[in-house]
Amino acid sequence: MKKIFALMACLFIFVACDFTKESVKVRPDIDITYIKPIAAYIDIDSLVRASIKIEEIHFVPRNSVDCVIDRMVLEYYSSDGKERFLGPIEVPMYVKIKGIVDPEEVDTTVIEEIPLPVDTVVGYMLNKPANNAKALLQFISYDDYGDGTCDTARCWFGFYRTP
C-alpha count within 13 angstroms, C-beta hemisphere, residue 8: 5
Say how far apart CA 70 and CA 65 lie, in whole Å: 15
| pTM assigned to the model | 0.80
Q: Are 54 and 37 in contact (CB under 8 A)?
A: yes
Residues 6+ apart with CB under 8 A from 112: 55, 56
One digit per residue, the tens of pLDDT, for the chain of length 163 reads: 677 766 666 666 665 555 555 545 678 899 999 999 999 988 777 655 567 899 999 999 999 889 999 999 999 999 888 899 998 999 999 999 998 988 888 889 999 999 998 888 888 888 888 889 999 999 999 988 877 888 999 999 999 988 6
